[in-house]
Structure 1
């Protein structure tokens, strides 16, 4: 139960480490060769036309149908800002789908799907997978099944999805993709949120999960049959610029904004940190390729008990400034992960800086903290610019008397900048130039 409360992210094909045993540390990042020798010039960051502004609303209520305006689509925030959804038309039917930068497939659960327990694979009643409205292929005139292919994706916490593949019309943020390949899920072991019907992944096409044949049990013996994710089709076939951006809100009644082809018209600092996306894969110790992400190098992490501390992001000797910790760390930027996961020694130093200090719980592999504690200063340095995290994001309230830190140890595994960090920045994914760009957002409170 605690792992679900901590993560509630059911979106990323390798879940955040606190739901996993210590052997999660067997996953490592390996650099890959670039597929292109000459990259495109950085995209011009224009404000997308017809921006949809977010309004406060009950998280269980769909946003206005004005999501069909071009360029930007609103996100709904669920479970205290842990999962982010956008309304998408699929075959003319409207669904709320999880938006995830850590996976690639678009998929929906169908009306007659079978639900299973992620822990022991036992059959369950459908409602226990907690999907929202289910996809009706018979109600769509644009549904075209794909023969001799199956959809199959497994998650590190035991969740999995299998089914078939098909083509269908998708409309998102006013952009039409008439023949989008997607996963038609008829078997699911899933921790749902009660609202979302599926997911749209925004990562690279190398992460898609289509396999030859109709038998999912034989898939891992062969290679995936790569196809274009939704955003790839948008820029390859629909003339959309090769850039999208996300601004996640900490206000629970809001979710944030996803802008396709540009940036949203929201307040942000005028200065950008531009950093290279490193092509990487996640491998187990067996050498089996598992996953690929938007990965960047960060200079290090800023930690202090004093708001007057001056930090040194340049990694040189400067007796007048406090050095960063965890220098030159590879991190994954992933909207589908709720918290941040950093090297164990960085998380321990941050835990000690709370007043009173956070305490480690060995049974749940997590740092707990007094809900009324004073949070330390915490920031992430990218290209020698430090992005500070609001103290309200560093203490995560699970219930009335139980709080965890928003920065947790990776237990020797992957470093992830998730929602805790992304609530404080406007993040631009410039696919053409293979860059991520960050601008600080206004330091807004929750009230």
Structure 2
């Protein structure tokens, strides 16, 4: 088992950390940890897109472990429209002190101009079925190679205003970060393909339970907000999306009978001195019943992703 610190981009927008690529001359890259996708890539040395300017770029020529995958291009498009293209290869990577040999990844040569981040790649931590490039994820490789005592990984996502830490643990969880007697698991939905998708018991806003039966939530560390289909978002806000910043709003989600409250500081997003919007937004999620549960919620619980038992656990923060 290994743990590593996780960094925040801007105030509570994205969470990323350093992983090492290659042997001989190891190369370090910051990557976003994204449980909502299944591909691994970093900027390649041939990337001349503006997003790659003044950023570290992977050089296969100094990596003794690298092997190209001839004839296999890398291509992925994310939900926000970001597009990545390049070549595919394999090498040894190290994450949280644990080595993953022959890990497939993308060497990005073309990156959307809107990829303006503090990190140089993305590590998908969904199931391998989510990969657009038929990659096996690093976590799955570790499990398949019997390198983990527990087929799990866990996140503590901090809040900048509190200067609280963020942490990724691979191979289990860190009991110093949560109250162990509060850990409650919810099994993934039966028809799930690749995502960390679990049933939502209910959503409660200002003490009122919304009429949202049969909803599921994809637990997504790569998303900042909580994304609902348009009709659900309209009911959530009762038609009014602007919120007075001075007001606090009580919002909670219930999984497996346990209620998890969202801190008002995580729910409100300031757009000017007087006006705020909520962290719940609407978008076409591809389903009328599918929600995406991002870091606005996940900062309020310790989260255990149990890949072996296909379940997600939440626990009260220590």
Q: TM-score, normalised by structure 1?
A: 0.64
Decide whether aligned partners of structure 1 residues 402 and 417 sit closer, same or farther in structure 2, where only a CA change above 3 A counts. Answer: same
**Correspondent of 2:35 among 84, 96, 101:** 101
Q: Cα distance, 1:145 vs. partner?
A: 1.0
Correspondence 1:239 to 2:147: yes
Q: Which residue of 2 aligns with 1:434?
A: 310
- CA displacement, residues 271-305 of structure 1 (integer Å, 9 cap, x when unaligned): 23221112546xxxxxxxxx84211111111111x
Q: Cα distance, 1:131 vs. partner?
A: 7.4
Q: Which residue of 1 aligns with 2:181?
A: 270
In structure 1, C-alpha distance between the alignment counterparts of 2:220 and 2:76, rounded to whole Å: 18
Contact 2:178/2:315, CA 8 A, preserved across alignment: no
Q: Cα distance, 1:421 vs. partner?
A: 0.6
Equivalent residues in 2 for 1:5-404, closer than 5 Å: 71-91=2-22, 92-115=26-49, 126=50, 128=51, 132-210=55-133, 226-240=134-148, 241-251=150-160, 256-264=166-174, 265-268=176-179, 270-278=181-189, 280=191, 292-304=194-206, 323=209, 325-344=211-230, 346-351=232-237, 360=240, 367-372=241-246, 374-398=247-271, 403-404=276-277
Q: TM-score, normalised by structure 2?
A: 0.88
Q: Cα distance, 1:199 vs. partner?
A: 1.1
Contact 1:246/1:257, CA 8 A, preserved across alignment: yes
**Correspondent of 1:423 among 288, 294, 299:** 299
- CA displacement, residues 178-225 of structure 1 (integer Å, 9 cap, x when unaligned): 211111111111533442111111111112233xxxxxxxxxxxxxxx
In structure 2, C-alpha distance between the alignment counterparts of 1:261 and 1:144, rounded to whole Å: 27
The alignment yields a C-alpha RMSD, in angstroms, of: 2.4
Report the secondary structure of 2:181's partner residue.
coil
The number of aligned residues is 309
Report the secondary structure of 1:328's partner residue.
coil
In structure 1, C-alpha distance between the alignment counterparts of 2:54 and 2:118, rounded to whole Å: 6
In structure 2, C-alpha distance between the alignment counterparts of 1:157 and 1:196, rounded to whole Å: 16
Flag the structure with larger Rg.
1
In structure 2, C-alpha distance between the alignment counterparts of 1:343 and 1:107, rounded to whole Å: 29
Contact 2:201/2:257, CA 8 A, preserved across alignment: yes
Contact 1:268/1:426, CA 8 A, preserved across alignment: no
Decide whether aligned partners of structure 1 residues 378 and 76 sit closer, same or farther in structure 2, where only a CA change above 3 A counts. Answer: same
